[in-house]
């Protein structure tokens, strides 16, 4: 397992020492011995605990400094981040950040305790080597943090209680674990800070959203006991109707539903179904139907019947005109071939990402990300994925996660890349609009937003002079 360049992959597997009598042990053997157990622990932490705070690490601001209490966290690579005593960090270097930024802590290794080394390049000189590696920490501020994959609630369709747990497990696996999740050694979020006039303050509401606390067995045990012991209302079920119910001083053994005195609403139990049917009586139905018939409205179109039919043009491509009792629907001009529009915007995207290497010749990391995005869009074109609306949107949503890396790199390095700040802002705004369009899953809206995004991407280039 490695932990270089921000990644902590386990794909190489593990290898441990095999000892035998007379084996010559070198520095490599002892380092491998440590690495084997260290990386096994890291893997266990990553997959069993996840990333977040175990305990402590409370944050407060006093006299222009941020104070962090002692505590323990686990970072994205499974390292324990231990802060043994209260620490503080100055706020004087936060002018570079916008109105909102993040306080982070990360795992750091520092060599210490130098001792004499008998191995020296010169026989006449002494040489020292550090004899210890201290596992410590570092606090820092960040303008952005990686977005986490949202969790979708899993619902079992099984009826047999014995099968529900297994069904939920399989559904969770299909949703989250078909491939092993990627991890990075990015720091752990401790707090969200915001600027107010001349001072920096904590933002408790935003902090609560991103300050991730790790679940442990003791916590889950206590939560489960608390839930089981809540005899009042553990599942938030119906407790009262118009202040009559089974809570407080209004407790009753049963609540009876009775029909309306006007006989316009009936209530009857359905035998052997544990259900109650509530409906409108036939007399009242005839009365209101007479009133409905007296109102002139559209009741059916091409055999589709309804109390009222509303006609709208979702994208403005159809003109709806009403005159008397006639509704005229006409196409406004020529409708574009949407599949060809999708193909064109994919080709434009490939061209613009291909130009990134020319515009920014020394930005290796930017080239790596843009080439990855370019490859995905080429696959969409060659595979003709643009011919299927559903696959088109789903694939763009997958690529969007890589595009976010591209945007994050630009935001963090625009000064080094010498990009005009106003042009970058327009590009970021168009990226947000593209995200909104993707979430709508409307192909036409996505194509239009993508065209805008490609246009503003084309304006990004180093400022000359």
Asked if the model's pLDDT at residue 2 lies above 50, the reply is: no
Q: What is the per-residue pLDDT across 358-416, written as a single tens digit (0 to 9) for each? A: 888 878 888 888 888 889 999 999 999 888 888 999 999 999 988 988 888 888 888 88
Q: What is the per-residue pLDDT across 259-308, written as a single tens digit (0 to 9) for each? A: 777 677 878 777 766 678 888 877 777 776 665 555 455 566 655 555 55
If one compares 331 and 217, the residue with the highest pLDDT of the two is: 217
The top-level CATH class assigned to 27-146+184-210 is mainly beta
Cβ partners under 8 Å of residue 332, min gap 6: 316, 317, 318, 319
What confidence score (pLDDT) does residue 305 get?
59
Query: Using alpha carbons only, how large is the chain's radius of gyration in Å?
Result: 32
Task: With both helix axes pointing from N to C terminus, report the angle between 389-417 and 443-458 in degrees, rounded to the nearest 10.
Answer: 20
What confidence tier does 216 reach under pLDDT thresholds 50, 70, 90?
Answer: confident
Asked if the model's pLDDT at residue 5 lies above 50, the reply is: no
What confidence tier does 357 reach under pLDDT thresholds 50, 70, 90?
Answer: confident
Lowest mean pLDDT among 53-62, 142-151, 219-228, 421-430: 142-151
Asked if the model's pLDDT at residue 199 lies above 60, the reply is: yes
Per-residue pLDDT, averaged over 233-250, amounts to 61
Q: What is the per-residue pLDDT across 270-283, written as a single tens digit (0 to 9) for each? A: 776 667 888 887 77
The share of the chain scoring above pLDDT 70, in percent, equals 78
What integer best gives the mean pLDDT of the chain?
A: 80
Lowest mean pLDDT among 174-183, 199-208, 279-288, 310-319: 310-319
What confidence score (pLDDT) does residue 56 get?
92
What confidence score (pLDDT) does residue 71 get?
93
Task: With both helix axes pointing from N to C terminus, report the angle between 364-382 and 338-359 in degrees, rounded to the nearest 10.
Answer: 160
If one compares 23 and 336, the residue with the highest pLDDT of the two is: 23
Q: What is the DSSP track for 172-196? A: HHHHH-SSPPP-B---EEEEEEEEE
What confidence score (pLDDT) does residue 1 get?
44
- CB atoms under 10 Å from CB of 461, counted, come to 16
The share of the chain scoring above pLDDT 90, in percent, equals 11
| Start-end of CATH 2.60.520 domains in the chain | 27-146+184-210
What confidence score (pLDDT) does residue 84 get?
92
């Amino acid at each position: 397992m490695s932990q270089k360049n921000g990644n902590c992959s386990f794909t190489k597997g593990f290898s441990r020492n095999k000892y035998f009598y007379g084996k010559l042990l070198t520095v490599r053997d002892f380092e491998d011995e440590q690495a084997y157990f260290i990386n096994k622990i890291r893997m266990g932490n990553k997959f069993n605990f996840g990333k977040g705070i175990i305990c402590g690490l409370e944050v407060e601001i006093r006299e222009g400094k941020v104070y962090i209490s002692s505590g323990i966290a686990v970072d994205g690579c499974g390292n324990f981040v231990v802060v043994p005593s209260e620490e503080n960090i100055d706020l004087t270097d936060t002018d570079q950040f916008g109105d909102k930024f993040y306080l982070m802590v990360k795992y750091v290794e520092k060599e210490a305790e130098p001792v004499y080394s008998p191995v020296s390049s010169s026989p006449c000189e002494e040489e020292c080597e550090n004899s210890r590696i201290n596992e410590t920490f570092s606090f820092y501020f960040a303008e952005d943090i990686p977005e986490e994959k949202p969790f979708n609630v899993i619902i079992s369709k099984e009826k047999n209680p014995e099968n529900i747990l297994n069904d939920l497990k399989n559904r969770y696996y299909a949703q989250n674990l078909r491939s092993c999740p990627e991890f990075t050694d990015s720091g752990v979020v401790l707090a969200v800070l915001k600027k107010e006039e001349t001072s920096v303050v904590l933002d408790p509401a935003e902090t609560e959203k991103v300050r991730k606390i790790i679940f442990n067995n003791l916590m889950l045990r206590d939560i489960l006991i608390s839930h089981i012991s809540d005899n009042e209302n553990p599942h938030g079920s119906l407790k009262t109707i118009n202040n009559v119910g089974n809570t407080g001083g209004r407790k009753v053994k049963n609540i009876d539903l009775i029909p309306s005195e006007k006989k316009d609403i009936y209530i009857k139990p359905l035998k052997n179904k544990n259900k109650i049917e509530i409906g409108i009586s036939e007399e009242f139905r005839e009365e209101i139907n007479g009133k409905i018939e007296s109102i002139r409205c559209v009741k059916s179109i091409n055999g589709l019947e309804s109390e009222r039919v509303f006609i709208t043009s979702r994208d403005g491509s159809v003109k709806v005109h009403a005159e008397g009792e006639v509704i005229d629907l006409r196409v406004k001009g020529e409708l574009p071939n949407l599949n060809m529009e999708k193909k064109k915007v994919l080709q434009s995207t490939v061209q613009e990402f291909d130009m990134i290497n020319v515009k920014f010749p020394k930005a290796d990391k930017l080239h790596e990300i843009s080439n990855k995005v370019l490859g995905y869009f080429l696959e969409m074109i060659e595979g003709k994925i643009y011919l299927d609306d559903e696959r088109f949107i789903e694939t763009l949503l997958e690529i969007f996660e890589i595009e976010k890396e591209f945007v994050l790199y630009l935001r963090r390095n625009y000064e080094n890349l010498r990009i005009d700040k106003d042009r970058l802002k327009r590009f970021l705004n168009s990226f947000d609009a593209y995200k909104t369009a993707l979430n709508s899953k409307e192909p036409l809206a996505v194509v239009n937003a993508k065209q805008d995004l490609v246009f503003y991407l084309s304006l990004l280039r180093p400022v000359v002079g």
